[in-house]
Every structure is written in structure tokens, then in C-alpha cells.
Amino acid sequence: MTASVRALWIGGSIAVTALLVWSWQLIADHGGIPPVFLPGPDRAWGALEQGFAGGDLTQLTRATVERMIYGWVLASLAGIAVGALIGSSRLAREYIAPMLEIVRPVPVSAFMPVVMAFLGLTGTMVLVVIAIGSIWPVLLATVHGVSSVEPRLVEVSQSLRLGRLKTLRKIALPNAQADILAGMRIGLTVALILAVIGEMLTSENGLGWHILQAARAYRSADLFAGVIVLGVIGLVSNLALQAIERRVLRWKRR
């Protein structure tokens, strides 16, 4: 993509966003919806300024981001390790992969009562739930990437008499980098969603708890401010991972 085309896409995105915000303001001012249910972007922006100026939103945002990252890192490490072991073994794929496909569609909410029974409504429970929910994209992507190594590369590793771990480290995992990074991007989005849900359930300090309290107290401006912050977190984290992905995979574009 050339610089001019990229600038055109960015300009178009900004224009669409501005149009949506303007439409939101018109509906809030003239749509007949009470402000207690639909505040305008001006009121939401005022709540954002007040929240960050007072430091409350800063602390809540930090708590949610830390919870999201810790759970995501735990899920990514476990997903890569387990996925590499399964993907590198034909027997493991034949016997374990069907079970993974059965468990994968089960909603994370189905695991929550089990985790709560062991850990209670605590911050640790939230981290475990985040890890359980966000591990699947990374694990399945790693299995696919490791198992799809070029047969010629496998023959090279065999001719060099590389052990299984060396083959994984020097051939299989580099070959699976694109799949793993794509799975990690999806897993990070899931981690943010589960962090918010976990905070709502456990009343742990964070944006999820803040949004729930604002909804119960009919503070719609604070509610929308929290949602906006969550959207910005999702956007920034996705852009950061895209930049890392481009840097890590730059050798593929040569």
C-alpha cells in the first residue's frame, strides 16, 4: 500500500468517525431520548475529562489493562507451549485435537462456576477465566502453524539429526509465527472482553465495575465514557500488535 493510498484510507476513517459522532450528537439533542439514557458526545467527553482529571479513570483503566495483559500473556504462553507439542506430534493431533474441538465452542461462562468454586469471586478468578477464554485462538493457531511445516524442512531437520525440541525452536515455531501472532491478536480482544465481564461479576476495581456502577446509578455520561475508554484500549492494543507483527514478519516481505 502506497503512502497516498494509506493517507486516503486514514482520512476516510476519520471522516466516517466524525460523521458518526455528529449523528450521535443530533440524535441526543433532537431525537427525544432523555439524556439519562442517551447522553451526547459532549457530555460523554465532559465525563472523560472529569474522570481523568480526578485520577479515577486513570486508575480504573490501569487496573483493567493490567488484568487483560496478565491473563493474555498467561494464555499466550500456555497456548504456544501446548499447541507446539500437539502440532509437532501426529498421534497427539489424532487423539487430542478432536477433544479440543469439542471443548473450544463451550462458552467461557460455563467454566466460571467451576473456577468460582475453587477460587471464589477474586481477582485470581478473573485472571484464570481470562486465560481460559483467550487461550483457544493462540493454541489452535499454533497447532495449525506447527503442523503445516513444509515437508522439505522436516526432511532437512531429519538429515541434520535435530531433536524434537530443536526442530520446534528452529523450524516449526518460526514457520508458525504468522499464525501465532494472528491468534494472539484475537486472544487479546477476548482477554479485554473477559476482563470487563470478570470485573462486573467480582466487583474488582476496573472499568467493568465502573460501567456497571454507572448503569445502576443512571450516570449515563460516565457509562459512555467508560465504554469509549474500552474502545480506545481495544484500538491501541490492536494497532500495537499489528506493528509488532509487521516488525517480526518483515522477513516474509523481502
In a domain, 210, yes or no: yes
- Candidates 136, 156, 138; CA nearest to 146 is 138
CA gap 198, 200 in Å, rounded: 5
- Candidates 239, 207, 235, 236; CA nearest to 47 is 207
Parent domain of 109 = 39-253
Decide which of 156 and 42 is more confident.
42
Query: What three-state secondary structure class fits 33?
Result: coil
Mean pLDDT of all residues in 58-84:
94
The residue with cell 532437512 is 156
In a domain, 165, yes or no: yes
Mean of pLDDT over the chain: 86
In a domain, 1, yes or no: no
In a domain, 167, yes or no: yes
DSSP 28-52: HHHS---TTTS--HHHHHHHHHHHH
The whole-model pTM stands at: 0.87
Mean pLDDT of all residues in 105-132:
86
Highest mean pLDDT among 108-122, 177-191, 237-251: 177-191
CATH classification of the domain holding 93: 1.10.3720.10
216 CB contacts (<8 Å, ≥6 apart)? Answer: none
In a domain, 189, yes or no: yes
In a domain, 238, yes or no: yes
CA gap 112, 95 in Å, rounded: 27
CA gap 79, 173 in Å, rounded: 13
- Candidates 118, 143, 126; CA nearest to 196 is 126
In a domain, 241, yes or no: yes
Residues 6-31 have pLDDT tens digits of 778 888 888 998 999 899 899 988 87
Q: How many domains would you assign to the chain?
A: 1
Contact at 8 Å (CB) between 48 and 57?
yes
Q: Cα(first)–Cα(last) distance of the chain, in Å?
A: 15
- Candidates 189, 233, 186, 241; CA nearest to 211 is 233
